[in-house]
Structure 1
Amino acid sequence: MDNFSIIKDSLPSLLSGLAVTIKLTVISLFFASILGLVFGLFNISKNKVLKSIAVVYVDLIRGTPLIVQAFFIYFGLPGALDIKISAMFAGSLALSLNAGAYMAEIFRAGIQSLDKGQMEAARSLGLPYSKAMRKVILPQAIRRMTPAIINQFIISLKDTSILSVIGIQELTQSGEIVIASTYKSFQIWGAVAVMYLIIITLLSIISKRIERSMNI
């Protein structure tokens, strides 16, 4: 069987794995954005308790590898709490928590990059802090943060490959399964690399176009 036929026959399985990869990335980035916003706001808060919680979360997650976090959630928590967790749930949770810590720093930096006079002007007009943040500060900050958010999306997409260690059949795991039956490592890993490259290149192009359209 020639190389083209091997890749062609393997394509359905690889595409299925790619779909799981994209699903994992989208789910995790959705929840990571929420976590990032919450802990980013905690980090700039004048409340020392909230600020301390944000610092601990960010330092703890950024200070440990994603693979350790995935193992802890998938193997550690069920053993300690006597519960069952699916690999997909554990992977999504690990990736969300991991990306959330980096998103928190993106939100913090984005908000703090704005002139302090923006908030002062909004407050002087009678807007409460929460409304001023929601209506004035965040829209401007998100505009500046967009390239960094897309970059985090790319990083999270690549990080999904790590989750194959807990049995999630994403793109990398699908490639391993195909190789086990075909013994064609070079061809299959080449196809997997090309698929990652295409998706990441498209995201990079989108990021650059957004930057140009926003004049960032």
Structure 2
Amino acid sequence: MNLHFELILEIIPYILQGLFITLEFTLLSAILGFVWGVVLALFKISHNKILNGFAVFYTSIFRGLPLILSLTLVYFATPQLFHYDITALEAGVITFTLNSAAYISETIRAGIAAVDRGQREAAIALGIPYRKMMWDIILPQAFKNILPALVNESIALLKDSALVSTIGATDLLRRANIVAAEKYLYFEPLLLVGFIYYILIISLTWVARILERRMRRSD
């Protein structure tokens, strides 16, 4: 096999610098997507037809569009429509947040529906306000039920973050492609990036399993 890993040893630190950009996209999008997803889930279970209709319509939009199309629309249309030179980081975080929230909202809604109805009835009987009941009683129990699904969404988000390379963000994949073009070696840098993504995903899965075990013990 005509492989030359020794030729990319000196540029490994350059590729690894993209790890921070990849993690920045992923963490910001995951946190903001979860918060917005919770809001959308509450809209979906609301008796307010306007809020409910908005959440359902919102989810259908982002489920129906390819992620890369949403990303390019945000990045290239924002300067044209709003006369604002949006950065690759901003475009990526906004797109991934909006897209991830659509899927997370469905997961959270299902988790809320899975909580024993008696919990709500008991809270209402005790005179607990709706907002306090949701945040202190229903959502914590729902979170335990949907943790594996949230981990899967986070893993998908981490892998999808590679799409930001298409709009010029110097993440792991973009840096690997730059090295490949300069060295005329494609397999070696791409394999290195694939290995880094694999380690990140295995680490995330491991942390999630530990958290899940601790939550089970607290029951």
State the TM-score, normalized to the length of structure 1: 0.95
Q: Are the aligned partners of 1:147 and 1:210 in contact in 2 as well (CA < 8 Å)? A: no
The equivalent residue for 2:54 is: 53
Instruction: Tell me how far apart the structure 1 counterparts of residues 47 and 171 of structure 2 sit (CA, whole Å).
Output: 42
Once residues 93 and 193 of structure 2 are traced to their aligned partners in structure 1, the CA distance between those partners, rounded to angstroms, is 21
Shift of 1:49: 0.7
Deviations 1:42-74 (A, max 9, x none): 011111111001001111011101111111111
Secondary structure at the aligned position of 2:47 is classed as: coil
Pairwise mapping of residues 19-30 of structure 1 onto structure 2 (< 5 A)?
Answer: 19-30=20-31
List aligned pairs for 1:51-90, cutoff 5 A: 51-90=52-91
Provide the rounded CA distance (Å) in 2 between the counterparts of 1:115 and 1:103: 21
TM-aligned CA deviation for residue 214 of structure 1:
3.1
CA displacement at 1:94 relative to structure 2? 0.6
Number of equivalenced pairs:
215
State the Cα distance separating 1:77 from its structure 2 match.
2.1
2:32 aligns to what?
A: 31
Secondary structure of the structure 1 residue equivalent to 2:109: helix
Partner of 2:147: 146
Supply the distance in 1 between the matched residues of 2:81 and 2:108 (Cα, whole angstroms): 33
Q: Greater shift after overlay, 54-63 or 78-87?
A: 78-87
Identical amino acids, percent of aligned pairs: 39
Q: Which runs of 5+ in 1 are unaligned?
A: none
* Aligned partners of 2:41 and 2:109 also within 8 Å: yes
1:201 and 2:197 correspond: no
Alignment partners' CA distance in 2, 1:118 and 1:183: 62
Q: What CA deviation, in whole Å up to 9, does each residue of 1:148-175 have, x standing for no partner?
A: 2122111100001111111111111111
Q: What is the distance in 1 between the residues matched to 2:11 and 2:209?
A: 33
Code of the aligned partner of 2:176: G
Q: Which amino acid aligns with 1:141?
A: A
In the alignment, is the contact (CA less than 8 A) between 1:37 and 1:104 conserved in 2? yes
Q: Is the 8 A contact 1:99 1:156 kept in 2?
A: yes
What is residue 18 of structure 2 aligned with on the other side? 17
Amino acid of the structure 2 residue aligned with 1:149: L
Write the distance in 2 (CA, Å) between the matches of 1:214 and 1:129: 24
Question: How far apart, CA to CA, are the structure 2 residues paired with 1:56 and 1:6?
Answer: 51
In structure 2, what is the equivalent of residue 106 of structure 1? Answer: 107
Root mean square deviation of aligned Cα: 1.5
Comparing 137-146 with 169-178, which one deviates more in the overlay? Answer: 137-146
Match of 1:3 in 2: 4
User: CA offsets, 1:72-108, max 9 Å, x none?
Assistant: 1111121122221111101111111111111111111
